[in-house]
Amino acid sequence: MKCEYFAHIIHGEPRLTTRIPKPTSTMRKAPRQARSRATIEVILESAARILGERGWAATTTNAVAETAGVSIGSLYQYFPNKLALVEAVRRRHFDEVLAVLRASTDTATPRARRIAAFVDGMITVHRRFPAAHRVLLEEAPRDAASEATHRRFEMEYRKGCDAFFIVNRRGNAAVDAEIAAQVLAAAVAGAVHDAARLGLLASPPFRRELIALVESSLTRRRAAG
């Protein structure tokens, strides 16, 4: 049986059509065998790499399959469409990021170590496929289904940032803790991303300066006017 599109017939908007895939559960079939799991693994790895290297638009499912060493047919056996593939990559990445935040809020470790953990974590997360984070967060489109995942992540991320800020701040810092936390997190992300672009992720001075920035931001006496 064939899938027909009636959409544009119904209410004629001009050209701008696209193939935004239907809300399907992200994974077409649960991997039963070890072989399947391995295939999925290699596809996701390949997808993450290519996504990071080329960006969403230049990432083709065919290229992902080829790089992964599987046939395009196999890819579609596990992921119903390009978006679902990206979604799977996203989910992984988000988990990593949240793990970093959790570690940086763990009051069992000393404060200095927590701050370092935060910065180091962000650096590490971005290291494998430098641009992937940005692509996943901003460049790659989402459908209704991924939107939910996204919002969930965003919320947890926010909470994590808040916690990080509150747990680690010093002095009578910002009035508006929530916003300050958001600003700080985004600032760190921006700096890390920029460093990734310039190939400075591994540079100790960069790390030192970033930690200094975080530290001073957490330590500041009063919000400027």
Q: Report the site for a copy of itself in 66-95 (rule: CB under 8 A).
A: 66
Residues 99-128 that bind a copy of itself (CB under 8 A): 112, 115
Residue number, 69 or 141, with CB nearest to a copy of itself: 141
10: left (phi over 0), alpha (psi -120 to 50) or beta: alpha
Nearer to a copy of itself by Cβ, of 64 and 88: the residue is 64
Q: What is the contact surface with DNA in residues (CB under 7 A)?
A: 1-3, 8, 12, 14-19, 21, 29, 31-33, 35-36, 38-39, 58-62, 70-74, 76-78, 80-83
Question: Which window, 25-33, 37-45, 94-102, 197-205, contacts a copy of itself (CB under 8 A)?
Answer: 197-205
Question: Residue 39: which of DNA, a copy of itself, none does it interact with, CB under 5 to 8 A by kind?
Answer: DNA
Residue 102 CB, nearest approach to a copy of itself (Å) = 21
Among 25, 60, 109, 172, binds a copy of itself (CB under 8 A): 60
Site for a copy of itself in 129-168 (CB under 8 A): 131, 134, 138-139, 141, 143-144
Q: Does 35 bind a copy of itself (CB under 8 A)?
A: no
Q: Which is nearer to DNA, 149 or 182 (CB)?
A: 149
